[in-house]
Structure 1
Amino acid sequence: MLSIRLTRRGTHRRPFYRIVVTEKRSKRDGGFIEILGYRNPLTDPEQLVVKLDRVDYWMKCGAQPSDTVKSLIARARRAAEATAAPTPNA
């Protein structure tokens, strides 16, 4: 079974997270199939990049996102809609 979850990168006290597709039983920082994005909580504002088209593809293939990744995907979708929303002509 496939899972979409975070893997921790970076150094001690300087975390950096990747959003990856992996087998559910693999280790947290073990091998992965594809990198779908990343999250850097230390920048101001927090940096979040997600390839939403690839997330949709893997979810159609049966990959289950973790709770944290679900909320990050929702946040990325809201940000994408806000930037893509046309401005009304006044």
Structure 2
Amino acid sequence: MALKIRLARWGAKKRPFYRIVVADARAPRDGRFVEKIGTFDPLKPSEDANRLTIDVEKAKDWMTKGAQPTDRVMKLLASVGAVEKPVYNNPEKAKPKKKAQERAAAEAAKAPAEAA
């Protein structure tokens, strides 16, 4: 059984509130979960102590058992010092896309013609 540590959305429409839960990867986002280990309220100011509450010991315990945190939960765990801050390095994502490359090539071809 593959476990994930992820956010489950609660709260009213346009007023998100998230529970940090350990759930089976196949379970629905807001559906069945194994254990609730914290909460996250993105509408509160970042300085507010109640914005993020997480049981770090439980999170570490579940990770040792094989639960994989999602990217967002990994960032939240790093913000409280539970794990080392993840390094995301995807140089392909930073490259210009096809249309931008075509536009740059057209401008480069036009520039020498104007200079001459």
Q: Give the TM-score taking structure 2 as reference length.
A: 0.65
Runs ≥4 in structure 1, deviation > 6 angstroms?
none
Asked whether the 8 Å contact 1:7–1:20 carries over to 2, the reply is: yes
What is the number of residues matched between the two proteins? Answer: 78
Percent identity between the aligned chains? Answer: 44
Question: Which ranges in structure 1 are unaligned for 5 or more consecutive residues?
Answer: 79-90
Name the larger-Rg structure: 2
Q: Please, what is the CA RMSD of the aligned residues?
A: 1.2
More strand by share: 1
What are the superposed Cα offsets for residues 18-51 of structure 1, whole Å, 9 maximum, x if unpaired?
1000000100000101111010011123501110
Q: Does 2:63 correspond to 1:59?
A: yes
Question: Which ranges in structure 2 are unaligned for 5 or more consecutive residues?
Answer: 83-116
Name the structure 2 match of 1:28: 29
Q: Give the TM-score taking structure 1 as reference length.
A: 0.83
Greater relative contact order, per chain length (Cα 8 Å cut-off, separation 6+): 1
